[in-house]
Amino acid sequence: WKDKGAAVGVREEIDANGKVIYRQVKKGVRDFVFGRTLGEGSYSTVVLGTDRQTLKEYAVKILDKKHIIKEKKIKYVNIEKDTLNRLIEHPGIVRLYYTFQDSSSLYYVLDVASGGELLGVLKKIGSFDEECTRFYGAEILDAIEHMHNRGVIHRDLKPENVLLDDKMHIKITDFGTAKLLPDPRKPKETTPYDPASQDEESTRARSFVGTAEYVSPELLTDKNACKASDLWAFGCIIYQLLTGRPPFKAGNEYQTFQKIVSLDYEFPPGFPPAARDLVERLLVLDPQRRLSIEHIKNHEFFDGIQWGRGLWKMKAPRLK
C-alpha cells in the first residue's frame, strides 16, 4: 500500500556544515492526539485527530489492515485513496491531507466537518424551505460537477454523506464505493492492458449497489452505474430536502426497488412547481434522458444562484 499520494510536512534543520536544510517529514500516528469517534464503517473508524504541532483538527479514518485483507477490500481502499487524491481542490469535497500506516492500520487524515450530517439537520427541522433547498442543492451539484469532470462517479450520494462544515457549507464524503473512470486530465495511461485487473474492476463496479432509497433504476436493471446515476440521487435529495422524506421509500428494500423501477412516487400538495419540474426531469428511468448538469444549472429552480467560487463565499442561509 504505497503512500504515494501523501502530502508531507517539512522540518527545518541545520546540517553538519551549519546550512539550513528542509527535511521532508511524513506525518505519523505520534503527530496526532485522537479524540471522539465520528463514525464507524464495516472496516474503518473515523475519529477526531488534533495535530500536536499545529493544533489543527482533522477527521482521521482508521482502516484495520487484517479486516481489509480478510474481507478482500484492498481494491476499495485503494479506490478511495486514488479518488480523494483526484478531488483535492474542491471546497465541497472532504480533502485528504496525509496518509500513513502502522503495523495494524492505515490512516487517512481528512477535513473534519464539524456540523455533522445534512440529514441530521433536515431531521431536526423537518424540511427545508425553497431558499435553503436551492442553496444546498446548488452546492451539492457544484461538487458533483467537479467529481464528474475528474472522472469520479460517487454512486452512493445521500444526505448522510453530505456533511456540514463550521460555516454550514457542505463537504461530500465517503468515496469508498466510488467508480473511477480514466482521469480526463491525465494523458492516456500507457500501462499495458491487464485483463485480470479489468474484470476484477468490472466485477467490483458491478457488484456494488448504493443505498436503497437513492439507487438509480439502471443500477437495479443492468448493474451499470454512470454519471447520470449520481443525478438520479441528486433528484431524490432535492425531493427529500423539500418534503423531509425520500421519494421512494417502502417497507423493505425489495419494495423500494419495485417503486424505483416503476417510477412509483408522487409530489405532496404545495410542492413548489419549479422544484417539481426539476425533479421530474431528473427522476427519469432512461439515464440518457435525465437532465445534464449544464441544463440543471440553467433550470429556473436555480435562478439567482451564482455558480462557481461565489457560491462557496456566500453566507449559508439560516435553516428554517
Ligand X SMILES: NC(=O)c1nn(CC2CCNCC2)c2c1CCc1cnc(N=C3C=CCC=C3)nc1-2
Residues in contact with ligand X by CB under 6 A are: 38-39, 41, 46, 59, 61, 94, 110-113, 116-117, 160-161, 163, 173-174
CB of 47: closest distance to ligand X in angstroms?
10
Residue number closest to ligand X, CB atom:
39
Least Å distance, CB 40 to ligand X, is: 8
Query: Positive or negative CA dihedral for 91, 106, 46, 253?
Result: positive
Catalytic-labelled residue, pool 142, 156, 174, 230: 156
Cell numbers linked to 318: 439560516
Told to judge if 156 belongs to the known catalytic residues of this protein, a careful annotator would answer yes
| CB neighbour list of residue 82: distance below 8 Å, 6 or more residues apart | 5, 180
Residue 140 Cα to chain centre, angstroms: 10
* SS3 state of residue 54: coil
Burial class of residue 252 (count of CB atoms within 10 Å of its CB; 0-12, 13-18, 19+): exposed
Contact (Cβ atoms closer than 8 angstroms) between residue 284 and residue 290: yes
- Judged by beta carbon, residue 162 or residue 226, the one nearer ligand X is 162
Distances from the Cα of 143 to the Cαs of 168, 192, 214, in angstroms?
Answer: 15, 32, 18
| C-alpha cell read off for 2 | 504505497
Residue 106: what are its φ and ψ, rounded to 5°?
A: -105, 145
Task: Name which of 59 and 275 has its Cβ closer to ligand X.
Answer: 59
Nearer to ligand X, 94 or 241 (CB): 94
Closest separation in Å from C-beta 152 to ligand X: 14
Q: Can you tell me which residue has the cell 444562484?
A: 305
Give the whole-angstrom CA distance, residue 150 versus residue 143.
11
Rounded to the nearest whole angstrom, what is the least distance from the CB of residue 171 to ligand X in the complex?
Answer: 7
- Kindly tell me which of 31 and 174 has the beta carbon lying closer to ligand X: 174
Whole-angstrom distance, CA of residue 214 vs CA of residue 246: 8
Q: How far is the CB of 176 from ligand X (least distance, A)?
A: 7
- Of residues 108 and 301, the one with the C-beta less far from ligand X: 108
CB-wise, 64 or 129, nearer to ligand X?
64
**Which candidate, 117, 209, 104, places its Cα nearest to that of 168?**
117
Q: How far is the CB of 94 from ligand X (least distance, A)?
A: 5
Give the residue from 312, 315, 286, 320 showing the smallest Cα distance to 139. Answer: 312
Active site residues: 156
